[in-house]
Amino acid sequence: MKEKYTIGIDYGTESGRAVLVSLKDGKEIADHVTSYRHGVIDDRLPQTGEKLGHEWALQHAHDYIEVIQTSVPEVLQQSNIHPDEVVGIGIDFTACTILPVDKDGRPLMFDPKWKTDPNSWVKLWKHHAAQAKANKINEIAEQRGEEFLPRYGGKISSEWMVAKIWQVLDESPDIYYATDKFVEATDWVISQLSGNLVRNSCTVGYKAIWHKQDGFPSKEYFKALDPRLENLAETKLRGEIVPLGTNAGGLTEEMADVTGLNPGIAVAVGNVDAHASVPAMGVTSPGKMVMAMGTSICHMVLGDKEKEIEGMCGVVEDGIIPNYYGYEAGQSAVGDIFAWFVDTSVPAYIKEEAAQAGLDVYQYLEKKATGYKPGETGLLALDWWNGNRSVLVDTELSGLLLGMTLQTKPEEVYRALLEATAFGTRMIVDAFHQNGVSIDELYACGGLPRKSKLLMQIYADVTNREIRIADSKHTPALGAAMFGAIAAGSENGGYDSAIEAARNMARIKEEVIKPIPENVFIYDELFQEYKQLHDYFGRGTNNVMKRLKTLRTFEEKVTI
């Protein structure tokens, strides 16, 4: 019997990657990246040049289709695998990334009537311009004692579905009423592959306040937000909700022609990029936190019961794998912080020295930063360059660097930023562990664990936990391919459960990163200082960060 394969497509913030994977052992046979033609749209609307507001982040829906058109045929060509041997396809996506569609499933941004209005476009996960709506969502839910609020750590994020929908209604009511459904981009892409628009239980559970037993919040709650939202669940959010691994339908003839795959092969329902990484690392039981580390971090844990955890992004039954509660938390900027520092704050002499050493700037800074012991820089930072996702759930917070002198060196600042993100992760780990969701070891995947040994050692030391690293270069895509295999089922050469697929396809490195006891002691002292700053600036004692942001917004309005 010939070996079987599936394709996983990982949709990131800047590009999409297709990976052809063996179902025998999870080995990646071929991969290809397609950059989004329009990238992240956060300044001006393409074509019209209309200036976007503060904290906007949009994308172009056709960029996602170009990934399929370009990267899927490429991996088939690279591998020389016959289409008959490919039994399924799955995707993972950034979330909450949403778009309004008409009754035919066509994005409103494709309609000449609406394309000049930015509210008709895809709102990327890091679109934070709906923060005012999120504040009201939380305020009214708390006043009413809504049962759903504790499941999301006490706060609904501006990144999520309802806040973004309400922003559309408030700013562009014509767009809202022209919209047949608001859908996650992952579900829309699956509809283009399969011809069926269904909602996956992962994104609708974590990002749209849906509960397996209770459904969406009540009509009364939505009406309390805005009378025009009273029937939101029955209208704009309607549709079948199905578990991860469900076959959304066979690949359409049109997409078969585009990709070179056989029509009718299984198309798994959409998934979240980070969540797909959990079974791909072999994590199918509680006690293990998976960190998907890149521009941001998504922290995921499996539990036996539904618990209330401060600042968690959600707890969803069957949200990651069946038969467990899936918990999610996160940090909204990690790699982005390091990139900001390198792009905007590194002096020319460092870049010159790096070039002379034959290293890129990140490698050179890490080499120099590795020479410092914990606490030796005298610096401490708060990692809120893009707000705080967990545990404070507040996008209006900003970064802080403390302890600089005229002797402070760039590599010292760089190390302090690495440490700050590790302290942010410890806040999350402690919140879970102290509320009855055990975390005994950490698993890490993504670009950062592969690139920075120093970063991973700092995380092990700060959290005082062992860390295991993904062996796959493309863990989310591997997870997406695994769900494609589950959608295909054993009768077609795939698998019948996430646990079975993980047993055969999951991959982690043999090396384990262990905490260094003397570092653990010093970092525990530094963490206490971090926590004081965290609570002082983040819990309302001193709202200077928000006042500064208010002044900045006021200045923008005056200038306009």
Q: Residues of the chain whose pLDDT is less than 70?
A: 1, 554-560
Q: Name residue 17's beta-bridge partners.
A: 10, 33
pLDDT given for residue 115 in this prediction? 94
Going by C-beta distance under 8 Å and a sequence separation of 6 or more, which residues neighbour residue 524? Answer: 464
How many Cα atoms sit within 13 Å of 145 on the Cβ side?
0
The pTM score is 0.88
Give the CA angle between residues 256, 259, 261 to the nearest 5°: 55
Residue 208, CB-side half-sphere exposure with 13 Å CA sphere: 27
Residue 200 structure tokens:
């996956």
236 near 99, Cβ under 8 Å?
no
Query: What's the CA gap between 218 and 232, in Å, rounded?
Result: 10
At 426, list the tokens.
């410890």
Give the distance, in angstroms, between the CA of residue 69 and the centroid of all CA atoms in the same chain: 24
Contact of 448 with 293, CB cutoff 8 Å: yes
**Rg of the chain over CA atoms, in angstroms?**
23
313 exposure class (CB count in 10 Å sphere: 0-12, 13-18, 19+): buried
- Helix or strand or coil: residue 103? coil
Beta bridge partners of 264: none
Q: What's the pLDDT score for residue 110?
A: 97
Contact 405, 342 (CB under 8 A): no
3-class secondary structure for 201-266?
HHHHHHHCCCECCCECCCHHHHHHHCHHHCCCCCCCCCCCEECCCCEEEECCHHHHHHHCCCCCCE
Q: How far apart are the first and last CA of the chain?
A: 67
> How many angstroms separate the CA atoms of 485 and 407, rounded?
56
For 472-520, the pLDDT digits (tens) are 989 999 999 999 999 999 999 999 999 999 999 999 999 999 999 999 9
